[in-house]
Amino acid sequence: MKRPVFSDWNIKSVNRKAAIAELLKLFPFQSNTQDLLLTALETREQAEPTIVHKGIAMPHCRSILVDDFMIAIGKSEKGIPWPEEKVKVIILFITPVKPSGPDEHMKLIRHLAKLLRMDGAEKLLSADSPIEAASILKFTLQESKQNE
- C-alpha span between 146 and 8 (Å, rounded): 6
- Which residues touch 121 (CB under 8 Å, ≥6 apart)? 52, 53, 54, 55, 56
> Rule CB under 8 A: which of 66-95 touch other proteins?
67
Q: Which stretch binds other proteins (CB under 8 A): 26-34, 72-80, 82-90, 129-137?
A: 26-34
When binding is defined by CB under 8 A, the residue of 81, 117, 118, 119 that contacts other proteins is: 117
Tell me how many residues contact other proteins (CB under 8 A). 34
- Alpha-carbon separation of residue 5 from 23, 28, 75, 85, 99 (angstroms): 11, 13, 14, 25, 24
Under rule CB under 8 A, residue 53 binds other proteins: yes
Contact indicator for 3, 115 with CB cutoff of 8 Å: no
| Nearest to other proteins of 116, 133 (CB atom) | 116
Q: Which is nearer to other proteins, 125 or 131 (CB)?
A: 125
What number of CA atoms fall less than 13 Å from residue 47's CA on the CB side? 9
Tell me which residues touch other proteins (CB under 8 A).
28-30, 32-33, 36, 39-40, 43-44, 46-48, 50-53, 58, 61-65, 67, 97, 102, 105-106, 109-110, 112-113, 116-117
